[in-house]
């Protein structure tokens, strides 16, 4: 068995897909088990290479009762907690980043300034397992009665500092609805009030609010069959990349060079204004608030034009990762 520690959230799973597929190819005769929270099960199934999910909500004692795995793979972090969590199950071999605190001297050194997809592809490459960092697609789920052809506005994010102001999301939603888009507002159950506020400000009907009405599998189905996604640096953006749904993503303070979509896919555009002093109060990061509504609507025009042209044989539009300032040099 190959036991993989990776997914605690949508972005973690999505950026780990190339590595998971590489492990499947490298160990075709072994069962591939992925440690992930139970709520992520619908997305784990869409990866298409995971044989078994081991449900766990975070780092700690895994409660492993089976025989020791042939290989344990840490696609979660640099350690030491994640290294120790896997070492507890007694694997015959561990693939992980070097970490002296965990007593692990093998593996490549950790780098803070690389894209999350590249991070895990590089680690596996060090162990002789080649991975294709462009292999990001998930299986497309059936709509299951959920709306199709909609424009998804997703104003939430796990960290409040990664949320663009709701009144600006509302202004974008209002403009797109005026152009004929059927706009829906998505989010987690805890973001339902935020989504309802955005919908109200935008003049959308009550049934446009899907936040809290779908699980992560439902959100994936909506995004997979959507016309457009507008959101921050959050899971909905990773789903848009996985399903090639045109998207405009609003980044701050972390740059898209670490978590954004591939820059050679112009139907996804990441907007970022670079670092600013963080300040002490709650709310969006100052860098993020410098993104204005016209800039987002202009990006919408670019990604929709790129989406229309991408089916033309041999046609590729130049990469669209827009930045007002130079990229960040270090992670926050």
The string of pLDDT tens digits covering residues 256-302 is 999 999 999 999 999 998 766 555 456 666 778 889 999 999 999 99
Q: Identify the sign of the CA torsion 159, 162, 163, 165.
A: positive
Percentage of residues in the chain having pLDDT higher than 90: 80
What is the Cα–Cα distance from 202 to 169, expressed in whole angstroms? 8
The reported pLDDT for the residue numbered 66 is 82
The reported pLDDT for the residue numbered 283 is 66
Closest CA to 183 of 155, 157, 158: 155
Given a cut of 50, is residue 328 above it in pLDDT?
Answer: no
Report DSSP state, residue 210: -
pTM: 0.90
The reported pLDDT for the residue numbered 332 is 23
Burial zone of 29 (CB within 10 Å; 0-12 exposed, 13-18 middle, 19+ buried) = exposed
CATH of 2-126, one of 3.40.50.2300, 3.30.70.270, 3.90.470.20, 3.40.50.2000: 3.40.50.2000
**Residues whose CB is less than 8 angstroms from the CB of residue 219 and which lie 6 or more positions away in sequence, other chains included:** 186, 210, 235, 236, 239
For residues 109, 114, 116, 121, the Cα torsion angle rounded to the nearest 10 degrees is: -60
What is the Cα–Cα distance from 259 to 323, expressed in whole angstroms? 15
Q: Which position has the higher pLDDT, 39 or 282?
A: 39
Given a cut of 60, is residue 309 above it in pLDDT?
Answer: yes
**What is the three-class DSSP state of 10?**
helix
Q: Bridge partners of 73?
A: 4, 95
Superfamily of domain 151-323 in the CATH hierarchy: Glycogen Phosphorylase B; (3.40.50.2000)
Q: Bridge partners of 104?
A: 99
Closest CA to 264 of 310, 188, 210, 318: 318
Q: How far apart are the first and last CA of the chain?
A: 36
Given a cut of 70, is residue 327 above it in pLDDT?
Answer: no
Domain edges within the chain: 2-126, 151-323
Q: Identify the sign of the CA torsion 210, 138, 22, 330.
A: negative
Q: Bridge partners of 54?
A: 35
Region of poorest pLDDT, from 13-17, 76-80, 254-258, 325-329: 325-329
Q: What average pLDDT does the chain have?
A: 89
Say whether 151-323 and 2-126 share the same fold.
Answer: yes
The reported pLDDT for the residue numbered 7 is 75
The reported pLDDT for the residue numbered 321 is 34
Per-residue pLDDT tens digits for 63-77:
788 899 999 999 999
Q: Which residue has the tokens 């803070």?
A: 112
- 59 band by pLDDT with thresholds 50, 70 and 90: confident
**Tokens standing for residue 203:** 């003049």
Mean pLDDT of 73-96: 94
Given a cut of 90, is residue 154 above it in pLDDT?
Answer: yes
């Amino acid at each position: 068995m190959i036991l993989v520690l990776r997914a605690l959230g949508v972005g973690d799973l999505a950026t780990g897909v190339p590595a998971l597929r590489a492990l499947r190819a490298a160990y075709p005769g072994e069962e591939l088990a992925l440690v992930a929270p139970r709520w992520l099960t619908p997305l784990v199934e869409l990866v298409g290479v995971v044989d078994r999910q081991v449900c766990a909500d975070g780092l700690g004692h895994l409660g492993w009762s089976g025989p020791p795995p042939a290989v344990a793979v840490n696609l979660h972090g640099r350690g030491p907690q994640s290294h120790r969590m896997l070492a507890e199950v007694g694997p015959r071999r561990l693939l992980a980043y070097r970490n002296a605190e965990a007593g692990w001297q093998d593996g490549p050194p950790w780098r803070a300034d690389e894209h999350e997809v590249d991070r895990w592809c590089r680690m596996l490459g060090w162990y002789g397992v080649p991975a294709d960092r462009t292999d990001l697609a998930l299986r497309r789920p059936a709509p299951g009665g959920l709306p199709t052809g909609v424009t998804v506005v997703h104003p939430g994010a796990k960290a409040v500092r990664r949320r663009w102001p709701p009144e600006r999301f509302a202004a974008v939603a209002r403009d797109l609805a005026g152009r004929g888009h059927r706009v829906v507002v998505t989010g987690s159950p805890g973001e339902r009030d935020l989504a309802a506020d955005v919908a109200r400000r935008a003049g959308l009907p009550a049934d446009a609010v899907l936040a809290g009405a779908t699980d992560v599998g439902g959100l994936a189905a909506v995004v997979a069959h959507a016309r457009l996604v507008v959101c921050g640096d959050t899971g909905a953006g990773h789903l848009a990349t996985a399903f090639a749904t045109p998207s405009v993503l609003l980044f701050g303070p972390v740059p898209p060079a670490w978590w954004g979509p591939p820059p050679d896919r112009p139907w996804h555009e990441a907007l970022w204004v670079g670092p600013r002093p963080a300040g002490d109060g709650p709310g969006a990061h100052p860098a993020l608030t410098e993104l204005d509504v016209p800039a987002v609507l202009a990006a919408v025009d670019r990604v929709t034009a790129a989406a229309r042209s991408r089916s033309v044989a041999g046609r590729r539009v130049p990469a669209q990762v827009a930045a007002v300032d130079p990229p960040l040099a270090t992670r926050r």
